[in-house]
Structure 1
Amino acid sequence: MTKFNWREIGVGLIVPVALITIWQLIASMGWVNPHVLPSPAAVVERWIAYLLPQVPYSEAPGSWLAWAVSGELIIDSIGSMFRVASGFLIGAALALPLGLMMGASPRVYALLNPLAQVLRPIPPIAYIPLAILWFGLGNPPAVFLIAIGAFFPVLINTIAGVRHVDGIYIRAARNLGASQRTLFLRVMLPAAVPYILSGVRIGIGTAFIVVIVSEMIAVNNGLGFRILEAREYFWSDKIMAGMISIGMLGLTIDIGVNKLNNHLLRWHRGLEH
């Protein structure tokens, strides 16, 4: 089991704590307009109110809870994560077999690579008008945009993984009489797994970025929608609370994916157990 390196964690907290302290001092001294840059304490208070379940006015008369507590964060986070998971699974499910075919077959690669290279630089945000035109509003266009964002990282890394398999392994397998199917399943695919998992990690990160943008355009809930709503009412503390929520979710997802990668790649040389 991996032990926590508390010294390393402590060193990593020095800069964030220093920046937050400076931020709080600047806000406390009134050097900036609190509507433009609220204090960390105000942001944390808004984040807690954003997180806690809604409290009816009759249960907390005269309290800040009567107006500040909404309980929207859990619902918004669930909505955003549902879209991320749906879009990523669709994008990865399409990219993985296609990437394996393009990496294993020079003919398929020559046929499809020019199209992939033309479409790959187009950011998913550019598809927003088409997504709304094709799917209307709601989850479908958001899931479509996320699927595009996740598709190309998984595709490109899968192709690279299959095409960069060490030739020694391939020649050894052929000398031992391995069929093309066995060569692909027992040699090329396992050797490409580190590349594929790297693509999965990048694809999930891209999907999480795209979901925030898509929620600002096509849906009426989610973290992206809530940040846009807060901007309309000039609630800068709620904007930052939403940003903190995005960062925490993103960090949690990345840690989980990284641990999964380490577990699946225990056999890979150079990886510490």
Structure 2
Amino acid sequence: MNKGTLSRAARGLWVPLLIVALWQGAAVAGWLNPQILPSPWQVLQRWYAYLMPMEAYDPAQGSYAKWLVSGELIHDAIGTLYRVIVGFLVGAVLALPLGLLMGASKRVYGWFNPLIQVLRPIPPIAFIPLSILWFGLGNAPAIFLIALGAFFPVLMNTIAGVRQVDSIYLRAARNLGAGQSTLFVKVILPAATPYIFSGARIGVGTAFIVVIVSEMIAVNNGLGFRILEAREYFWSDKIIAGMLTIGILGLAIDTAMNALNNHLLRWHRGLEH
């Protein structure tokens, strides 16, 4: 990691650190009700307890023993990440070919666009009752809802990317004798890739929103389930700890996608500069 990257990362930490310092100061001064808004130190302590392995009573030995598994946080984070990744991949795999076809063909666009425009404004959360009826409880309804949430951002950005291909590139490729399949693979798809990656990043963000709601209703583990459980017991610090974990996971995935985007689209940045 070079100095420029470290410098940008350091600049990006100033605002969060300032907010945390003001928050902790207000809590120490007694301006905040710890039941309503606990201090950052309380949240950090709860987050650590949520992360670490717990102790459980072992009737066979008649004593408390460490579980041979990690703490709740690890299991919940893995469950949430699994649903996000699988649901996003299902939605993206379905949206990408349809978006390429709709962007490249006016006939295909005319066939599917009315249906897409009817379904697109409906929030995935509205499908929760139907998803439970269709798939029952567990991962299946959650993955269905996440796939639905990720589908439309990828689809619409793919369509826009194909339609934004500069006609100069298309004419030049045709003049050089490129056929329709070569034109699509060598010109249209690479030119639309930046839009596709933008749609994928939006789709991942939507997937995190949907997964938390679906875990509160359809499954019995995951960060969303744990936040709802903490609400029932009025554990505000655990609620914020769960929210913090979601933010960290989202940041990690977005950073990875941005790095992949920058690596694969080096040629595109060269054209821009």
- TM-score, normalised with respect to structure 2: 0.92
Amino acid at match of 2:254: D
Deviation per residue, 1:117-149 (Å, 9 max, x gap): 111111111111111111111111100000000
Which residue of 2 is the match for residue 54 of structure 1? 54
Q: Where do 1:63-142 residues align within 5 Å?
A: 71-142=71-142
Amino acid at match of 1:243: M
Which residue of 2 is the match for residue 38 of structure 1? 38
Which residue of 2 is the match for residue 184 of structure 1? 184
Q: Where do 1:219-234 residues align within 5 Å?
A: 219-234=219-234
Is the partner of 1:37 in helix, strand or coil? coil
Alpha-carbon shift at residue 175 of structure 1 (Å): 1.1
Deviation per residue, 1:123-179 (Å, 9 max, x gap): 111111111111111111100000000000110011111111100011111111111
Alpha-carbon shift at residue 243 of structure 1 (Å): 0.6
With over 3 angstroms needed to count, the CA separation of the structure-2 counterparts of 1:15 and 1:271, relative to structure 1, is: farther
Which residue of 2 is the match for residue 264 of structure 1? 264
Q: Where do 1:123-202 residues align within 5 Å?
A: 123-202=123-202
Indicate the larger mover: 198-207 or 235-244. 198-207
CA contact (8 A) 1:156 1:199 kept: yes
With over 3 angstroms needed to count, the CA separation of the structure-2 counterparts of 1:193 and 1:8, relative to structure 1, is: closer
Alpha-carbon shift at residue 18 of structure 1 (Å): 2.0
Gaps of 5+ in 2: 58-62
Deviation per residue, 1:81-134 (Å, 9 max, x gap): 110111111101100110111011110011111111111111111111111111
Which residue of 2 is the match for residue 20 of structure 1? 20
Q: Distance in 2 between matches of 1:76 and 1:269?
A: 38
Is the partner of 1:268 in helix, strand or coil? helix
Q: Distance in 2 between matches of 1:184 and 1:272?
A: 22
With over 3 angstroms needed to count, the CA separation of the structure-2 counterparts of 1:16 and 1:271, relative to structure 1, is: farther
Is the partner of 1:267 in helix, strand or coil? helix
Q: Distance in 2 between matches of 1:272 and 1:59?
A: 63
Alpha-carbon shift at residue 22 of structure 1 (Å): 1.7
Number of matched pairs? 267
* Identical counterparts, % of pairs: 71
Amino acid at match of 2:150: A
With over 3 angstroms needed to count, the CA separation of the structure-2 counterparts of 1:249 and 1:271, relative to structure 1, is: farther
Is the partner of 1:35 in helix, strand or coil? coil
Q: Distance in 1 between matches of 2:152 and 2:164?
A: 18
With over 3 angstroms needed to count, the CA separation of the structure-2 counterparts of 1:22 and 1:269, relative to structure 1, is: closer
CA contact (8 A) 1:262 1:271 kept: no
1:9 matched to 2:9: yes
Is the partner of 1:95 in helix, strand or coil? helix
Q: Distance in 2 between matches of 1:207 and 1:25?
A: 35
Q: Distance in 1 between matches of 2:2 and 2:209?
A: 30
CA contact (8 A) 1:91 1:148 kept: yes
Q: Report the aligned-residue RMSD.
A: 2.2
Alpha-carbon shift at residue 236 of structure 1 (Å): 0.2
Gaps of 5+ in 1: none
Q: Distance in 1 between matches of 2:16 and 2:181?
A: 52
- TM-score, normalised with respect to structure 1: 0.92
Indicate the larger mover: 224-233 or 32-41. 32-41
Deviation per residue, 1:3-53 (Å, 9 max, x gap): 444443333322222221221122122222211111111100000000111
With over 3 angstroms needed to count, the CA separation of the structure-2 counterparts of 1:2 and 1:188, relative to structure 1, is: farther
Q: Distance in 2 between matches of 1:271 and 1:73?
A: 44
Indicate the larger mover: 27-36 or 94-103. 27-36
